[in-house]
Amino acid sequence: MRHCNGMRALLLGGAVALGLGGVAEAQTRIPVGHLMDNSGPTSDVGVPYGQGVADALAWVNRTRGGVAGRQLNVSGFDYGYQAPRAIAQYQAWVQRERVVAIQGWGTVDTEALITFVTRDRIPYISGSYSAALTDPTGRAPRADKAAPFNFFYGPSYSDALRAMIQWAAEDWKAKGRPGRPKYVHMGANHPYPNSPKAAGEALAAELGFDVLPAVQFTLAPGDFTAQCLTLRNSGANYAYLGNTAGSNISVLRACQTAGVNVQFLGNVWGMDENAMKAAGAAANGVVFPLRTAVSWGGDAPGMANARAISQGGATAQAEYRPVHYLAGICSAMLMVEAMETAATGGQVTGDRIREGFYARQRWVPRGFEGVCKPSTFTVEDHRGQMAISLYRAVVSGDTTQGSVAELMRNGTMKLEPVTEITLERRQDWLGW
C-alpha cells in the first residue's frame, strides 16, 4: 500500500539519520513503539489513525524539539492485524530498543499484551477502546485482570454504546412509537465487536428494549444479504454495527437493497467520512460517537496545529482528514504530555509516564484546545471520557462525484451533531 511505503521510507530515513548522528545521539533519544494496521482487515480505519499518530509525533520532534530537548525515536510496525505478530514485535521493542511507551492498535493484541505491559511497566496507549482496559486495579466486579498501564483516548466501546442506547430509548419515546423497541447487536464473532456486546444488551434490557439474538457478519467486506433479510424479518428498530467501516459499508448497502427500516448505531471505527462516500445514501442517518470536539476544519483554536501536523506529515498531503486522523493526533499528544511531565525533574521511564497520565483533570493537550475532548484518568479508573458526543451521518446526494473534501464542502455529506450524553460513572460498569 502507498501508506505502508511512505511509513517504510520514514523509518528508513530515521535509521539513516540515526546512523549519521552516531551512538551518542541514539542514547539521548526517547524510544517509542507504534503498532499499526496498514494492511489488515481494519486498515480502512487503521491507516488514517496511524497517520495521525505518526504525523503528530514527527511534528513534536520538528517543532518542539521532542520531549524535554530529546527527540522521540519512533519505531513503527505494520502488523496486519495479526496478534502473534504484535506480540513478537512487542518483545523485540522491549528487549532491543527499550521502548518506554507504545502507541498500539487492536483489541485482540492489546488485551493479550496486558500482562506483558504490566510486568514491563510500559504505558500502552491503544486504538482499542475495550472496557477491559479501563480497570487499573483489577477490583471491578467483572474484572478479568488489572490493566494499570493501559490507556486510550476516547470513551470505551461499552460506554459509547451505552450512550447510544440511552439516546435510542429517548428517540423511541420522542417518536411516540407504541410497544417496546427492539435492539440487536451486529458484528463479527471476534473480541473487538464483541467487547461491548454484553454491556449494550444489559443496558438495553434495563431500559425496556426487547433484545434480539445477535446477527454476525465478518470483519472483511462481503455479501451480507442474508444478514439483512434476518434483520428485516426480526423487526429490529435499533441495530449496533460493531465492525470497522469497510464491512459496515457492505451491510448498509445490502440492507438498503433489502428494504430494511432500522436505525443503525455505529461504533467509533464503524463510520467516517470515507465510509459515507463509499456507502452513499445507504449511510444516511447512521448515528455514531465522535471522539474529538470537532471534525476536520471545525472552528477550534487547536485546528491550526492539526493542519500544521497534516501539512508536515510523511504521507501525501490531503485537503481533508477523516475523524480517525484527529483522534490519532489526540492520542499521540496525550502520551507526549505525559512524557513531558515524566521528564520534569526525572527520567522518562514507564512508571513516570504513567504518573503523567494522572497529573491533570479534564486534560486537553496544549495547543489542541477545541479539538481534543477533555480526558481524566485516575489510579482507580482509566475511563478517560464519560461525556459522549453523538453525531449523525447525513448524505443528501450523489457521493460518486468529487472527493471527500468536495462532498463535505458542498454539503452533500455532513456530520450533524445529535446530542452529548454524560454517563454516570457507575462502579459496576468499570472494566465492562
CA 61 centroid distance within chain: 23
Q: Please check whether residue 127 lies inside any domain of the structure.
A: yes
Q: Please check whether residue 50 lies inside any domain of the structure.
A: yes
Q: Please check whether residue 379 lies inside any domain of the structure.
A: no
Confidence band for 27, pLDDT divided at 50, 70 and 90: low
Q: How many helices (H) and strands (E) does the chain have?
A: 15, 13
Whether residue 96 is found in the same domain as residue 237? no
Whether residue 286 is found in the same domain as residue 312? no
Q: Please check whether residue 117 lies inside any domain of the structure.
A: yes
Whether residue 310 is found in the same domain as residue 259? no
CATH number of the structural domain spanning residue 93? 3.40.50.2300
% of the chain with per-residue pLDDT over 70 = 93
What amino acid occupies position 407? L
Question: What pLDDT does 7 receive?
Answer: 44
**Would you say the C-alpha torsion 399, 400, 404, 408 has a positive or negative sign?**
negative
Question: What pLDDT does 316 receive?
Answer: 67
Residue for cell digits 521510507? 9
Domain range for 186 is 157-294+386-429
What amino acid occupies position 390? L
Whether residue 120 is found in the same domain as residue 267? no
- Length of the chain, in residues: 432
Question: What pLDDT does 231 receive?
Answer: 98
Whether residue 176 is found in the same domain as residue 289? yes
Whether residue 87 has pLDDT greater than 90: yes
Q: How many structural domains compose the chain?
A: 2
Whether residue 393 is found in the same domain as residue 324? no
Q: Please check whether residue 366 lies inside any domain of the structure.
A: no
Helix (H) or strand (E) holding 62: helix 43-64
Q: Please check whether residue 178 lies inside any domain of the structure.
A: yes
Whether residue 133 is found in the same domain as residue 175? no
Q: Please check whether residue 286 lies inside any domain of the structure.
A: yes
Whether residue 288 is found in the same domain as residue 409? yes
What amino acid occupies position 249? I
Whether residue 396 has pLDDT greater than 80: yes
Cell numbers of 399, please?
Answer: 457521493
Q: Which long-range contacts (CB under 8 A, 24 or more apart) does 316-320 make?
A: 316/2, 316/6, 318/405, 319/403, 319/405, 320/273, 320/296, 320/403, 320/404, 320/405, 320/408
Rounded CA-CA distance 241/251 in Å is: 9
Rounded CA-CA distance 34/50 in Å is: 8
Whether residue 122 is found in the same domain as residue 211? no
% of the chain with per-residue pLDDT over 90 = 89
Whether residue 23 has pLDDT greater than 90: no
Question: What pLDDT does 143 receive?
Answer: 80
Q: Which of 311, 338, 357 is the last residue of a domain?
A: 357
Rounded CA-CA distance 30/160 in Å is: 34
Question: What pLDDT does 22 receive?
Answer: 44
Whether residue 251 is found in the same domain as residue 393? yes
Concatenating the DSSP letter of every residue in 161-212 gives HHHHHHHHHHHHHHTT--S--EEEEEE-SSHHHHTTHHHHHHHHHHTTPEEP
pLDDT in tens, 336-383: 999 999 999 789 999 999 999 999 999 999 999 999 999 999 999 999
Whether residue 115 is found in the same domain as residue 19? yes
Q: Please check whether residue 98 lies inside any domain of the structure.
A: yes
245-257 vs 43-64: helix axis angle to the nearest 10?
A: 140
Whether residue 125 is found in the same domain as residue 236? no
